Amino acid sequence: MKPYQRAKIGGILDGNDHDVWGVPLLNIAIGYDDNDDKMSRDFVEQFTEMYKKAGFSNIHSSTYKQAPGLDIHEMGGVRMGRDPKSSLLNEWNQMHACKNVFITDGACMTSISTQNPSLSYMAMTARAVDYTLGELKKGNLLN
C-alpha cells in the first residue's frame, strides 16, 4: 500500500515555523482512520443492497484507496469562523492572519449535506469577490 492510500487530511498552524513574512506555516497530516474504512464499507453495502432491490445482477463492488481528493470532496481543512483562535477564515472567506488571501473552495466548509458542493463554492466565490473588490477600492488589501 502506498503512503497516500491512507488519506484523512487535517491541518493546524505551526506556531514555531513561519514563512518569510512571519505568517505561521500550515502543518498537514494525511491518513485514513477506522471510521473512514467503516463508512467506505457501509457505502458499498448500501449501494449493493439498492442495486439488488432495483433488480440488478452480477454486481461487483469494491473500494479503492485512492490518493486524497480523487473520489470524495475534501472538506473543512481551512475552517471559516469569527474567532481566529478556532478558525482560519472570516465570514468573507478571508484569512484572519493574511488579509489578502481568500479561500473559497470546500476547505472553508466543515461538512457537506450529500454531494456536489460546486454550486456552494461558486456562490461563496462570487460573494468573496464582491467583498474583495469593495475592499480593494477602499485600499484595505494593498498592505
Please provide the average confidence, as pLDDT, over all residues in the chain. 80
| CA separation for the pair 6, 38 (Å, rounded) | 13
> Which burial class, exposed, middle or buried, applies to 89 when counting CB atoms under 10 A from its CB (0-12, 13-18, 19+)?
buried
**Do 41 and 57 have their domain in common?**
yes
Decide if pLDDT at 45 tops 70. yes
| Structural domain boundaries enclosing 112 | 73-143
Please give the pLDDT value at position 71: 61
Of 24, 41, 72, the residue at which a domain comes to its end is 72
**Do 77 and 137 have their domain in common?**
yes
pTM: 0.53
Of 57, 72, 87, the residue at which a domain comes to its end is 72
